[in-house]
Structure 1
C-alpha cells in the first residue's frame, strides 16, 4: 500500500515538473559541419555567417530558396562580422593586417572594397542604399556611412575629444579603444549606436540624409547592443545592475521593459512583432523571445549547451548552437509559434492574417488610395514564393506556384507570366523597404483575400 502511494506521489511530482517546464520551439541545423560557424544574420531567404572550418574565418552565404551554400569572401584573407539586407552583404576583410569594408552584391556576385585606409573597423551594417560602420581614427571610434548609389563616403558621428580617456591606464597598460561610437545599427535612413561621450555607454542616433544627430537613451548606467527596425529599437540596459531587454518606440518616445528575468539577457533583435535574445537564466545561454501581439514570452531554443547570437527576420530565426561542442548554425521556423491574439483591437495599424497566423512585417503595412501595401519579403514568405530585387531597374520579380509576377517601383503596370496587368496603386519604397499591393500579389498566386475595414484587418487564405 505504501509502495503504491509513493509511486502515485512520484508520478504526480514528475507530471507537475514536466508541465512546469516552458515549451520551446523545435530547431533544425542549417549548417552542421566540422569547425565553427559563427555570427549568423538572416534577411529574407539569405543567411550569412563566418565559417572557421579551415582555421581562417571566411564569409559564407546560405540561400533558403535554393538550399545551397557558397563562399562569398576571399580565400586568401580572413573575414569577419558579416551582415546582409537580403540583396547585399558586407563584412570586414583582413588582408596583410589591413582592415577594409567589403560589399558584395548578391544579384551580380561582385565584390567592392569600400575603404582603403588600414585603420581598425567594426560592426559593418547594410540597408540599401547605405553601408555604415565604426572606424578607429585619431584616437577614437567614429561612425562612417557609404552610399551604394552615389558611391560617396561621409563621417556621420564624431566623438567629443574633451571626454576621451588617455591611451594608457594608471598602470601603464594600453586601453582597449572603445571610447567613441561603436555598435551601430541601421534601418532605412536612420542609425543608432552606443556612445561614450558621457563617460558611460548611452544610445545616440542620426538621420543619414540630413546628418541631424539626436539622443535616444541617456540613462544613469550603460545601454548596449542596439538593434533597430523601423520605428522600434531593442537594446540591453544595465539600470538594475544586470543586463535586461528593453524596447524603445520612436513614435511614442517611450521605453518598455521586455524581459527583466534574473541573470543576464543579451543581443536582442526584432522583426515585426517578435523580439528574440540570448538568456542566461538557466545558467547557460538559451534563446528566448517575446510576442508583442500576445504579450507572451517564448522559449525558442532550450538545450543542454549554449545557444547564442540570435538573428530574426519574418518567420525565420537563426542562431549559434553549441550542442555538438562546436558552433553550428540552427534555425527555427516561427510560423507555428506566433498565434493571433484574441484582442486584435489592441494592435494598432493594419493587421494581416495568413491561414490563421498573424503576419510579422518589419515595416507596417500602409493604405494608399484604398489599397493595402505590404513589405514584399513578408508577403512572399507568407505565400511561399521567391522574391528577386533588381536595384538597377527598380523591379521586383516574384516566382513560384507556377506564376512569375513582375512589378516596377512607381509603375501601375505589372505582368503575370508575361501578360500585362493594370494596378490601382504602384509598388513603392518607404523606410528603405519595398512595398507591393497586397491584394494584387496575393490573388496572382491563387490566394483568397478578405478586407475588414472596421478592424483594419486583411485575411488571406491559401
Structure 2
C-alpha cells in the first residue's frame, strides 16, 4: 500500500518529468520555427543595366529572355529595340523615320502602335522574331493604340466608332476595345458602349480595361470563353491602369484621396487594398503572387519600385538608388524591368529577385505558371509544377503524407524521457 508521502512524492516527480518533457519539446522544435521565420521572407535582388546609350529609352516589356523598349537614340523618332538576356545581344527591330511606341513582347512576337500613316491613324503592327517578318494588324482608317498580346490574341483601344481628343488632349467620344486572333485571322469588337474604354490588358480568355461609361473611371472585364462582360469596380472614385494575371486583377485606385494599388480575385469575388503606406503608388504590374509598382514615398525626385508578395503578405523595396525609377513597369516570373534616370537620361534596368530558400513558396509560384511558347506543342515535363487552365477541373495529385515522428529533431530525446517516466511510475507501484 502506497502511503501519503509516497503519493506526494509521485505527484512531484510526475510534475517534474512533465516540465522536463515540455522543455525538451520546446528546445527540439525551436530551430525549426526560427529557421522558417528567418528564411521565408528574405529576398535577394540582382540589378542589371539593360541600356547604356545616352539617349532616352522608355516603355520596357519582358517575356522570357527578351526585353523590348522604345528608343530615341537617333534623335528623331522612337524605334523598337530588343535585348536578349541569354545571348547578351541588342537588336534594332524597327529602322525607319516614323514613331513606334508602346511595345509589348510575348514569346517570339512583339506588337506596338505604329505612326507610319500618321498619329491620328496609328496602326497596330507585329514583328515575328522567328521569321523576321513584320505584319500590319489593323488597316482601319482611324487610330489604334496601346496594344497588349497573349498567345495568338492582340487587343488594343480603337477610335473608329467616334473616338477623338478634346482641346486638352483628353480622350473623348467613343473609344472601344478590339481584338485580333492571329490563328483565325479575325478581328472582333469587344466593347459596344458609346463612351471611353481604353488601356486593355489580356491574360488567356480575359480582357480588362478602364471604362468611363459611369462618369468616372471603373475597371471592366470581358471573358472570351463565356462572352460575358463584368464590372469589377463600383467605387465613385477613379480606378484605372488595370493589369491581370491568373484570377487576379490589379489597378490604381483614387478612393482614399491618393493613388493606391487594389486587387480583385475573380475566384473569390474579393477586393483587397494592397498598398497602405500613405504615399502615392501607381503603374502596377502582376505576375503570380508578385505585384510591383512605382512608389512616391521618398519624394517626387526619388521614385522607387516596390514589390508585394501575396503569399507572405510582405512588402519589399526593390530599388534604392536616389533617382527616379519609374514608368511602365513590367514583370515576368522573378524579373522586373523599369525606366531609370540615375545616369541623367532614361535607361532600361532590370532586376532578378530570388529567395534565400530556393524552395520558398514565392519561387514555387514563379515555376508553377510555366507557359509554352506561342504555337508550340511542347508539353510540361512529368512531375512539373504547371498549373491547369483557369476554370479547369484538373486537380493536382495528392502528395503522400510523410511520417514526421522520427524525422523531427530531438525525437529520440523526447522518446527517452517518456520511457524513463513510465518505467519509474511502474516501479513505484
1:156 aligns with 2:190: yes
Superposition pairs of residues 112-127 of structure 1, within 5 angstroms: 112-127=135-150
Q: Residues 256, 212 of structure 1: CA spacing in aligned structure 2 closer, same or farther, 3 A cutoff?
A: same
Q: Evaluate the alpha carbon distance shift between residue 431 and residue 57 of structure 1 in structure 2; reply closer, same or farther with a 3 A threshold.
A: farther
Partner residue in 1 for 2:353: 334
Q: Which runs of 5+ in 2 are unaligned?
A: 1-41, 164-173, 403-429
Structure 2 counterparts to residues 102-113 of structure 1, below 5 A: 102-113=125-136
Q: For 1:339 and 1:254, how far apart are their aligned partners in 2?
A: 31
Change (3 A) 1:72 1:454: farther
CA distance in 2 between counterparts of 1:249 and 1:453 reads 30
2:309 corresponds to: 291
Aligned with 1:136 (options 154, 159, 162) = 159
The answer to whether residue 70 in structure 2 is matched with residue 50 in structure 1 is yes
Contact in 2 for aligned 1:191/1:206 (Cα 8 Å): yes
Q: Does 1:61 align with 2:82?
A: yes
The CA distance in 2 between the partners of 1:339 and 1:233, in whole Å, is 28
Alignment partners' CA distance in 2, 1:82 and 1:152: 22
Structure 1's 126 and 360: CA in aligned 2 closer, same or farther, altered over 3 A? farther
Deviation at 1:195, TM superposition (A): 0.2
* 8 Å CA contact retained: 2:70, 2:100: yes
Distance in 1 between residues matched to 2:400 and 2:150, nearest whole Å? 33
Q: Is 1:77 equivalent to 2:98 in the alignment?
A: yes
2:389 corresponds, among 430, 435, 458, to 430
Distance 1:261-1:111 versus aligned 2 partners, 3 A rule: same
Q: Which TM-score applies when normalising by structure 2?
A: 0.73
Q: Does 1:184 align with 2:178?
A: no
**Structure 2: distance between partners of 1:325 and 1:118:** 39
Shift, 1:108, TM fit: 1.8
| Aligned residues of 2:369 and 2:387 also touching (Cα < 8 A) | no
User: Could you list the runs of 5+ residues in structure 1 that have no partner in the other structure?
Assistant: 1-21, 161-178, 341-353, 366-373, 378-387, 397-406, 415-422, 440-450, 456-462
Structure 2: distance between partners of 1:90 and 1:129: 12
- CA-CA distance at 1:220 after TM superposition: 1.7
**Structure-2 change in CA distance of 1:41 and 1:360 (3 Å):** farther
Indicate the residue corresponding to 1:11 in structure 2.
none
Contact 1:24 1:301 in 2 (8 A): no
- SS state at 1:359 partner: helix
In the TM superposition, what whole-angstrom CA distance separates every residue of 1:336-364 from its partner, at most 9, and x where no partner exists?
xx356xxxxxxxxxxxxx455742546xx
Distance in 1 (alpha carbons) for counterparts of 2:390 and 2:95? 32
Per the TM alignment, residue 192 of structure 1 is displaced from its structure 2 partner at its CA by 0.6
Q: Secondary structure at the match of 1:34?
A: coil
Q: Deviations over 1:16-41 (max 9, x none)?
A: xxxxxx99945221112111110101
- Higher RCO (CA-CA < 8 Å; seq separation 6+): 2
Deviations 1:84-129 (A, max 9, x none): 1223211001104131100122222221101112322221000012
Between Structure 1 and Structure 2, the one with more strand by share is: 1
Which residue number corresponds to residue 359 of structure 1? 363
Large movers: runs of 4+ above 6 Å:
none
Contact 1:265 1:277 in 2 (8 A): yes
Count of residues in Structure 1 that have an aligned counterpart in Structure 2: 341
Query: Aligned to 1:27, what secondary structure does the other structure show?
Result: strand
Cα distance 1:49–1:360, how it changes in 2: closer, same or farther (>3 A)?
farther
Q: Distance in 1 between matches of 2:51 and 2:189?
A: 37
Map residues 55-454 of structure 1 onto 2, 5 A cutoff. 55=75, 56-97=77-118, 98-137=121-160, 138-139=162-163, 140-160=174-194, 179-283=195-299, 284-308=302-326, 309-335=328-354, 338=355, 354=358, 358-359=362-363, 361=365, 374-376=368-370, 389=373, 391=375, 394-396=376-378, 407=379, 430=389, 452-454=399-401
- Secondary structure of residue in 2 paired with 1:298: strand
CA distance in 1, matches of 2:374, 2:288: 24
Q: Secondary structure at the match of 1:118?
A: coil
- For the pair shown, which has the larger CA radius of gyration, 1 or 2? 2
**CA separation of 1:261 and 1:59: change in aligned 2, threshold 3 A:** same
Q: In terms of mean alpha carbon deviation, does 241-250 or 132-141 score higher?
A: 132-141
Distance 1:357 1:113, change over 3 A: same
What residue in structure 2 maps to residue 41 of structure 1? 61
1:194–1:201 contact (8 Å) kept in structure 2: yes
What displacement does 1:430 show? 3.2
